[in-house]
């Protein structure tokens, strides 16, 4: 199994990524760390606890991290996600976060098992950057960092130029790409938009599973589905669960190439733009960017997780 931590701004597809980490037999999910992003911070925490309860795995520790980006004001994606839980997440009785701060927990867990722990970062990179600042050995201690963020010279989703996670905390993203991690990037466009969209047929198949987890999936994805259709995307998008899936199942990746990735922090129209340079510009690669996946196998993997009976 793969020891991992998921760093998340829990709403919709983040919940699905958590289900993958919690229930896929290939995963050994050691902790969930929370970072400011999609929806209000406390709502995100409720969404994470709700997901633990739905999965039947309430004992997985949740650590609260940075409540705002490093330098800038927090920007939400509530217009896309609603509350991120399809209205399901109320306070989850008996579930409380750990006392230790997420950044301390990340630094500690990586130092306790140097070279063993992978991190799946599916929100703004604030916690990861703060851990880099706190412990110069952090990047070395982490085995691999899988990041959902940026676009591979493609479209943004919050502005023309930028994908949400990098837009919200561009300084953090910039810090992380120059910190020396072994990085894999799952970008928004074109990868997620072309290869990790579940259209009506797939959504119907998932609903037909009739399990508690498939009902949960349908409910939490409803708000984003409505948003996606409004903007011309024909289905639900799954960037975060794809990021967890490619860590756990490398065979899902059909093509990934080395790139030098840097993030715009000064531009007027390009805040958070990910400049992905593919080797012709004389820059040393600092990341592997996923370019093509086995889309059908990814869908089958998610369906398999949703078909599972929840843990006892
Ligand atoms: C990313 O932003 C959020 O809306 C999703 O959770 C995903 O991590 C996509 O841009
Ligand atoms: Ca996310």
For residue 146, what are the CA distances in angstroms to 59, 247, 283? 24, 7, 21
Regarding the beta carbon of 240 and ligand 1, being less than 6 Å apart is answered yes
- Between CA 110 and CA 133 the distance in angstroms is 14
Residue 266 DSSP class? S
- Between CA 2 and CA 261 the distance in angstroms is 26
pLDDT of residue 80: 84
**Best residue for ligand 1 mutational test, from 69, 81, 148, 157 (most atoms within 8 Å of Cβ):** 148
84, 15 contact by CB (below 8 A):
yes
What's the pLDDT tens digit per position in 42-90? 999 999 999 999 999 999 999 999 999 999 999 998 888 888 888 887 8
Distance of CA 79 to the CA centre of its chain: 18
What's the pLDDT tens digit per position in 177-205? 999 999 999 999 999 999 999 999 999 99
Regarding the beta carbon of 14 and ligand 1, being less than 6 Å apart is answered yes
Give the pair of three-digit tokens for residue 116: 């063993």
Question: For residue 237, what are the β-bridge partners?
Answer: 197
168, 272 contact by CB (below 8 A):
yes
Positive or negative, the CA dihedral 81, 83, 88, 94 is positive
Q: How many residues does the chain have?
A: 312
Q: Which phi and psi angles does 74 have, rounded to 5°?
A: -65, 140
**Best residue for ligand 1 mutational test, from 75, 122, 147, 273 (most atoms within 8 Å of Cβ):** 122
**Best residue for ligand 1 mutational test, from 77, 160, 188, 224 (most atoms within 8 Å of Cβ):** 77
In the chain, the largest separation of any two C-alpha atoms, in whole Å, equals 55
Distance of CA 85 to the CA centre of its chain: 16
- Between CA 209 and CA 141 the distance in angstroms is 41
Give the pair of three-digit tokens for residue 95: 């579930």
Residue 92 pLDDT greater than 90, yes or no: no
Regarding the beta carbon of 239 and ligand 1, being less than 6 Å apart is answered yes
Rounded to a whole number of angstroms, the distance between the first and last alpha carbons of the chain is: 20
pLDDT of residue 252: 98
Give the pair of three-digit tokens for residue 247: 């860590």
Regarding the beta carbon of 165 and ligand 1, being less than 6 Å apart is answered yes
pTM metric for this prediction: 0.97
What's the pLDDT tens digit per position in 206-244? 999 999 999 999 999 998 899 999 999 999 999 999 999
Q: Evaluate the omega torsion of the peptide bond into residue 267 and state whether it is cis, within 30 degrees of 0.
A: no
pLDDT of residue 223: 86
301: part of which helix (H) or strand (E)?
helix 295-307
Give mean pLDDT, residues 267-289. Answer: 95
Write down the ipTM of this complex: 0.98
Give the β-pairing of 144-148 and 183-186: parallel
Regarding the beta carbon of 188 and ligand 1, being less than 6 Å apart is answered yes
**Share in percent of the chain as helix, strand, coil (round to 5):** 40, 20, 40
Give the pair of three-digit tokens for residue 114: 């140097």
């Amino acid at each position: 199994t793969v020891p991992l931590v998921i760093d998340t701004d829990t709403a919709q597809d983040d919940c699905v990524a958590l289900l993958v980490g919690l229930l896929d037999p290939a995963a050994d999910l050691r902790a969930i760390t929370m970072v400011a992003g999609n929806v209000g911070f406390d709502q995100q925490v409720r969404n994470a606890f709700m997901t633990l309860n739905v999965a039947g795995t309430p004992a997985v520790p949740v650590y609260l991290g940075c409540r705002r980006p490093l330098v800038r004001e927090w920007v939400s994606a509530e217009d896309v996600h609603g509350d991120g839980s399809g209205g399901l997440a109320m306070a989850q009785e008996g579930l409380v976060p750990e006392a230790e701060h997420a950044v301390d927990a990340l630094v500690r867990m990586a130092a306790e098992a140097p070279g063993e722990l992978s991190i799946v970062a599916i929100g703004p990179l604030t916690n990861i950057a703060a851990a880099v600042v706190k412990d110069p050995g952090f990047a070395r201690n982490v085995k691999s960092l899988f990041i959902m963020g940026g676009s591979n010279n493609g479209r943004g989703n919050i502005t023309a130029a930028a994908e949400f996670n990098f837009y919200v905390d561009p300084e953090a993203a910039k810090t992380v790409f120059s910190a020396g991690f072994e990085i894999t990037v799952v970008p928004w466009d074109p990868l997620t938009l072309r290869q990790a969209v579940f259209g009506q047929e797939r959504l119907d198949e998932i609903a037909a599973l009739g399990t508690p987890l498939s009902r949960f999936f349908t409910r939490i994805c409803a708000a984003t589905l409505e948003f996606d259709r409004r903007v011309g995307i024909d289905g639900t998008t799954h960037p975060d669960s794809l990021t967890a899936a490619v860590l756990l199942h490398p065979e899902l990746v059909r093509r990934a190439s080395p790139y030098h990735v840097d993030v715009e922090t000064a531009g007027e129209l390009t805040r958070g733009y990910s400049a992905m340079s593919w080797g012709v510009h004389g820059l040393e690669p600092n990341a592997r960017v996923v370019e093509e996946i086995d889309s059908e196998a990814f869908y089958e993997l998610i369906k398999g997780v949703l078909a599972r009976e929840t843990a006892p």
